Structure 1
Amino acid sequence: MTLSRRHFLAAGSALAAAGLTGCGSRSSLGGSNELSMWTWVGSVNDDLIGQAEKSIPGYDGMKLAMTRIGSNYKTKVLTALAGKSLVPDIVAINDDVATYFPNADQFYDLNELGAKELEKDFLPWKWKWGITPAGKMMAYPMDTGPTALFYRTDIFQKAGVDIDPAAVAGLAPDWDTYIALGKKLKQAVPGSAITDNITGIYSYRMAQQSKRYMTPDGQYLGDQDHVRQAFDLAVRVVKEGLSANAQNSTDKNAVVTNGQLVAYIGAVWWAQLGPKNAAPKTKGLWRVTPAPGGAGNRGGSFLAITKYCKNPKAAFAFISWLESAKNQAQAFLDPVLFPSTPASYTDSRLSAPDPFFGGQKIVDVFAESAKKYPGAYFSPYDSIIDTPISSELVNVEASGKDPDQAWADAQRQIERELTRAGAI
């Protein structure tokens, strides 16, 4: 399946809300001395935002007016852009940044505001993700989601496995050895699982890849070997009985709480959402080590300045201040946003031992993952492609569907959806 560049760009526009052709005045939110900003809960550090709400650093007389949107965030942003009225000056964008690329004309090219001079301060792959296929710097890096292997030392000890992080990394450098380790753990402690569910393995294997579902010029890759191999790997883990088969958030928390999930390849934010939240009594029992299969990334966000911004220079001064290495280090403490600025990794606020992980300096592991991650192109169509594959994997685990049939059905549905989007 090949998409022409013309179809690629045209189909991307169809993904945007109503084509962004609505009428209305071209106006931004807030007073003349305010920079309005929309984001979601848990995306920024409150103390830093509090400073900017009093005064934008370097711009006396300008202040920030931030709104946290609790649900349907993306829909609300696209709706505001479509209406071209009451649009915020600054918007946060999640890791689906590529789905905004068809709307690039609604945003400033940040290179024109001075971004290029700061590129050296950021992870190269993260910086690249904010640039459209046409070369426009549309989105400025915020946090990242480097991955690693989390594991329970008490269960590993019962299985006679050395719990030192370096030893575990040496024991399971790839997915085959990770599965072998899982079988050993399960034999020693029946019921042990090394993933929450089938899509967990698939998603994190894909998060390690140097390519995903499409190329920048519109070639479809979702039926190629690197995707099928990730699909088959996920099926294999289930067939070996190493998945906890937890399909919703409640069940995912439960398998951490009850100790069934003894190892998990996850992004840095899982430390908080997983064991620290669901199993606080396991404090001291967890460790982190490089993930089998290599470095990966899952998650992370961006900031963009809309074309309706009343003072784009002040807006860029704000976002570049907020995402400086010093301030990204502060944002890691609350709400646990892993920096996209390597200079932050040696900041004492990040590099301190973590008591929950037995005093291990876990940031070191995630920093190496962030720096070694090969990067991959994310297209505006990734969610259209990923959804059928993930759904069919769930069918394999939950109802025993034949994997080959599931793969074929996923590919047929992807073709239908891309056709419907006008992409093929």
Structure 2
Amino acid sequence: MDITFMVALVIALALFFDFTNGFHDTANAMATPIATGAIKPKTAVALAAVLNLVGAFLSTEVAKTVSGGIIREGSGGVQITPEIIFAGLMGAVLWNMITWLKGLPSSSSHALFGGLIGAAVVGAGFSSVNFESLVQKVILPAVFAPVIAGLAAYVCTRLAYALTARHDPETGTKLTQKRGGFRTGQVFTSSLVALAHGTNDAQKTMGIITLVLIAAGSQAPGSGPQLWVITACALAIAVGTYAGGWRIIRTMGSGLTEVKPAQGFAAETSTASAILASSHLGFALSTTQVASGSVIGSGMGRRGTTVRWNLVGKIALGWLFTLPAAGVVGALTALLVKTGAVGVLIAAVAGSAAVLFMFFYSRKSSVSHQNAVEVEEAGQAVRFAKKKARAEAKAKAKAEAQARADARANNTKENRR
């Protein structure tokens, strides 16, 4: 097959993966502020899209990890071809679509690495994979980052509730808690998460496109992504983010635990800190795992909140199977494309058909900004009920005061008689 056509096909598929990454991971930044009513759903995804776009231009360390750290570019006689990269991307895209359909916040990053590793092993052998880099910059962060972010969110949540607790100074009776400021703060913390997501996840596709350009001989090994690659990937993930990913937003916003503003603030702060640190160090971190860990930690940190551990178990199982499942699809696709142009065509048609099937199947139970997070609607109803109750109490107090005034006036008239 013509190398130029193959490179173009891989770049197109890589940008589509970037698009799926965007709507798959919108929930990482915006699920909790939507759930608490801090931001309206459509406004939230638009803000996340803009900040993902900006964040994609801030760093390229993760892109270098992907393009030259995990899959060897060509040293030691190993030759990664555009066909192998195409096969790996197919595994990542199909796993992303399956987990999106199920509403599971799985890792787009691990789907990408799994697909690439499976395809590379079949197409070029085990020597094509830098397993040391895989363990250091993917596996270990995947294990420790969610735990660290969850612990940080737990501590921050406990501190937030302890520092803002209000009691009557004389009786010690617990007063009505006023934590509305956290809802406003969520606008800033969720924005920081969206910015951090752009600095980490958009770079993974930059690394893939850079890798295929190196494999095709269009770019020198060891070099970073070109400006047009950065721009294209930034736009793709921004458009995907704006698409919403409402199924996963529902899981993150109300499925794992009931989220209150102080919790959301703590979770988002912890998530952003972990992602920004990993981007600086070049770790290809799963932002989904970090965000999920933070939400769970914040739920454990607030008294009276129940964490839905059965759903947590399903998500953890999805995390466990992401690398191998995407790897199997990538390996099978690599076997197919090794047969030549016909195999590439069959893989492209079959993959496209699978994506279209899942999209149209999802229309049977549509999830949109109107029904994604019931917690937000419940929160609005509660706030409306409180306002209504306060208004009724004021009206009642005013009526009673008027009645007493009328009674005093009548008594005065009687006395004068």
Interval of TM-score (by shorter of Structure 1 and Structure 2): under 0.3
Of Structure 1 and Structure 2, the greater strand share is in 1
TM (norm. structure 2) is 0.26
TM (norm. structure 1) is 0.25
Of Structure 1 and Structure 2, the greater helix share is in 2
Q: Larger relative CO (CA 8 A, sep 6+): 1 or 2?
A: 2
Larger radius of gyration: 2
